[in-house]
Amino acid sequence: MKKISFIFLLSISTLSLTSCAQLIGDKAKDEAFKVANNKAKSMGLKVGSACKYIGFIGDNSESKAVADGKIKFKMFSVQTGGLLKNCTYAYGR
């Protein structure tokens, strides 16, 4: 019984550490997105986005983000992601 409890606690600890690492990665991607957004605003660029939810609903392709923003000339793009949502943002004119 003690062995099963130990294995259960170990697996919970591993899941917690994985979740924390995921949150740190999400925070870094969010920061990259903020920097890109500020850069785009200062340059007067159009923004288009495309997102995929829960891994299979939607499309986070760059081409869809370009079409969404009616961008004819893409200058740069940024991807953000998390457990439930992954997005691509395109910037251009």
11-56: pLDDT as tens digits: 544 444 444 555 556 677 678 778 878 888 898 999 999 999 998 9
Q: Mean pLDDT throughout 64-78? A: 95
Q: With contact defined as beta carbons under 8 Å apart, do 29 and 81 qualify? A: yes
- 43 to each of 24, 39, 69, how far by Cα in Å? 29, 6, 15
Mean pLDDT of all residues belonging to the chain: 79
State how far Cα 89 lies from the chain centre.
Answer: 10
Q: What is the pTM of this model?
A: 0.63
Q: For residue 83, what are its two tokens?
A: 């457990």
pLDDT at residue 91 in the model: 93
